[in-house]
A = this chain, B = another copy of it.
Amino acid sequence: MADSLYATRMNTIPKSFIREILKVTEDPQIISFAGGLPNPRFFPTQEIAQAAAAVLTGADGAPLQYSTTEGYGPLREYIAQRYRDKRGVDLSPDEVLITNGSQQALDLICKVFVGKGDAIAIERPAYLGAIQSFSVYEPQLYPVPLLDDGVDLGQLKAVLDRHRLKFFHTVINFQNPSGISYSQDKRAQLAELLSSYDTLVLEDDPYAELRFEGTAAPSMRTWLDGRVILLGSFSKIVAPGLRLGWVCAKREIMSKLIVAKQASDLHSNSLCQRMLHHYLINNDVDRHIATISTAYGNQRKTMIDAIEAHCPAEVKFTRPQGGMFLWMTLPPHLAAIELFERAVGKRVAFVPGTPFFVDGGGDHNMRLNFSNADADRITEGIRRLGDIMKQMLARPQ
């Protein structure tokens, strides 16, 4: 078979660097800050088992039959209701489509909006899953730098003025990889800027409810309404193995997302949608999420304490108020990729910064996940990293 049989897009999709790293870290002896896994200790395994029994006992076949592309009605209602109750966003269930995690929502949005060469703005550094998903559609990606309080609006305006952007993709709370959140002012200014352009915002927000400090700022929907597409996920607040997330969009866009979803895989798992809904309405989900958030807050504190105790003072890092990641910036003469190689030798892993930058950069950055490992492993892993950093810094420059 000739290579020319493949579509050209296969040359543009970056091979997942994290996937390659995860292979290195399959050894359970390795202390891994590399992945983006929730702590499985908090999975509601028994409650999900009860939900499975309840949904299947005496069932008429519906949980195992083909079902609607949009998703299970009561689950869509639950999501809309939760946006109203928790986020002050007024959504109709008709504006909610159930997807296989929010990763699939990115793919469906690209199917609907992105042709070859179309312009998309992303954050710099950007979420790797988004880079990978978008690249399939062969767009021009324009990374816009993140500041401490959100995207650099001057630079975003420059991109908007030069290119017809299909959308701006933002992980608006506890960004992956940087851990930063958009301030309320920044959101208002972003809305003000975007209101002059015919483009959309993808508000990708899987971590919103995992807040352990500070106060939530409103969704971009508050200002831009139907020009915002919301993406969310049950992966971080219930369990990722169910592969259930959602995308919310105004009806006109939704009708096209539904066609794209149908062409992609007809609909998401009927049984697990019903099980998840049963779990959500029969358990204290808020308390469950509070438990996870508190634990992740403690794990983040452990990590920061360990960094301050063991890493050189030249090392800078973000202090996320929620989510699963913090972002470290090494001194200029300390390369993250060399640190990574040495760290794997000492059985510690993280993600070096370069894959988060589609235009080069990130050589001195690294992403550290604090949600997956328990406290003593976090402390030990950071201690090892700190030792290697000190050795590298002690070399003649």
Contacts and interface: CB of A to CB of B under 8 A. Distances in A.
Contacts of A266: 100-101, 103, 129, 243
Given A100-B100, A241-B66, A241-B271, A135 B61 contact: no
Contacts of A313: none
B256 A269 contact: no
Interface in A113-136: 113-116, 118, 129, 132-133, 135-136
A278 to B, nearest CB: 12
A264 B59 CA distance: 31
A40 interface: yes
A185 interface: no
Among A10, A115, A137, A265: residue with most chain B CB under 10 A: A265
Which range holds the interface residue count of chain A? 35 or more
B7 A111 contact: yes
In the assembly, how many copies of this chain are there? 2
A335 B121 CA distance: 51
A53 B57 CA distance: 12
Contact of A61 (B43, B260, B271, B272): B43
Interface in A34-71: 35-38, 40-41, 43, 45-46, 48-49, 52-53, 56-57, 59-67, 69
Given A7-B113, A45-B63, A48-B56, 16 more contacts: A5-B166, A5-B199, A6-B112, A7-B111, A35-B66, A40-B65, A43-B61, A45-B59, A49-B53, A62-B241, A64-B242, A104-B264, A136-B260, A243-B267, A243-B268, A269-B272
Interface of A: 1-2, 5-10, 13, 15-16, 19, 35-38, 40-41, 43, 45-46, 48-49, 52-53, 56-57, 59-67, 69, 99-101, 103-104, 107, 110-116, 118, 129, 132-133, 135-137, 166, 198-200, 226-227, 235, 239-243, 252, 256, 259-260, 262-272
